[in-house]
Amino acid sequence: MLSTDKAWEKFGREDPYYGVLADERFTTRNIEKNREHFLESGRVFVADLLSRYEKHFGTLRRDRALDHGCGVGRLTLPLAKEFSTVAGLDISPSMIAEAEANSGRLGVANVEFALADDKLSTALGEFDFVNSFITLQHIPVRRGLPIIDELIAKVRRDGGFHIHLSVRTDGLPSRALWWASHHIPGVKIWQNVFAGRQWNAPAMQMNNYPLNKVAVQLAASGVAEFLVLTDHHAKFLTCSIIGRKT
């Protein structure tokens, strides 16, 4: 089984938009006719996210923003319309290359993309808003929990954040199939062929986070109030945690 970082780079090289949003419209063979819709979905998401934040927590300073797990720039580029400067981080060099291409297509000049590491060392300083959407769920929990600490540490006092997580709701048969696809040779190949994808397409990890541990981490980082929203991504229940660092 490929590690999550290597799998993500394989998505970045071969099917970057599908790697961000697993929808047939956004596969490599279909993206040219659907790229505008893909990017527009990011603009709508960012507008709703910032509106929801300010409704609950008040006016947000719009100087610097950080987009963790930026992929091809779906959320980074609309954030650049709302903030003076934006940093986009991703573990995949190929994803970053495509994000830079999209930045050029849209004429966005106030965004910088860089390779991510678990310490976020390429994102210097603090930010008014830190975003991590559909990213942490693809990172094992034991690795992702410390990354959450690093993300919150990047939020300046009175700044805001949005962290998106998956939590476990699928039943035992689904869990057993997930385990088999990651540990038994040939199962993932069968799944890919059955789904009409390349036989060697990488597995997209889905890791489920304990909200109690995340809440303790947030409290320890000076976050006393946050909003939790739930949504379903296919069969997975996900949580968006939106808060203000005080």
Q: Residue 1: its pLDDT value, please? A: 41
Q: In the structure encoding, which two tokens stand for residue 18, read together?
A: 């599908």
Q: CB atoms < 10 A from the CB of 60, how many? A: 18
pLDDT at 183 over 50: yes
Q: Give a yes or no: residue 186 inside a domain.
A: no
Q: Residue 235: its pLDDT value, please? A: 73
Strand 85-90, strand 155-167: pairing: unpaired
pLDDT at 182 over 90: no
Closest residue by Cα to residue 115 from 22, 12, 3: 12
Q: Residue 174: its pLDDT value, please? A: 62
The better pLDDT of the pair 63, 176 is held by 63
Q: Give a yes or no: residue 184 inside a domain.
A: no
What is the tally of structural domains in the chain? 1
Q: Region 148-164: what's the mean pLDDT?
A: 97
Q: Give a yes or no: residue 187 inside a domain.
A: no
List all residues 6 or more positions away from 166 whose beta carbon is below 8 Å from its beta carbon. Answer: 136, 137, 206, 207, 208, 209, 233, 236, 237, 238, 239
How far apart are alpha carbons 2 and 25 in whole angstroms?
A: 25
Q: Residue 63: its pLDDT value, please? A: 98
pLDDT at 64 over 60: yes
Residue 19, domain extent: 4-170+208-244
pLDDT in tens, 5-60: 888 899 999 999 999 998 999 999 999 999 999 999 999 999 999 999 999 999 99
How far apart are alpha carbons 145 and 161 in whole angstroms?
A: 15
Q: Give a yes or no: residue 190 inside a domain.
A: no
How far apart are alpha carbons 53 and 62 in whole angstroms?
A: 13
CATH code at position 69: 3.40.50.150
Q: Residue 232: its pLDDT value, please? A: 84
Query: DSSP assignment, residue 209?
Result: -
Q: Give a yes or no: residue 192 inside a domain.
A: no
Q: In the structure encoding, which two tokens stand for residue 83, read together?
A: 């903030």
Under 8 Å between Cβ of 155 and 127: yes
pLDDT at 97 over 80: yes
Q: Give a yes or no: residue 142 inside a domain.
A: yes
Q: How far is CA 58 from CA 79, 90, 133, 160, in A?
A: 18, 29, 21, 10
Q: In the structure encoding, which two tokens stand for residue 161, read together?
A: 């954040």
Over the chain, what is the mean pLDDT? 90
Q: Give a yes or no: residue 84 inside a domain.
A: yes
Look at the chain and count its residues.
246
Q: Give a yes or no: residue 180 inside a domain.
A: no
Q: Residue 169: its pLDDT value, please? A: 58
Sheet holding 155-167, edge to edge: 111-115, 85-90, 64-68, 127-132, 155-167, 236-244, 226-233
- Whole-number percent of the chain with pLDDT over 90: 75
Q: Region 180-197: what's the mean pLDDT?
A: 65
Q: What is the pTM of this model?
A: 0.88
- Residue 133 banded pLDDT, cuts 50, 70, 90: very high
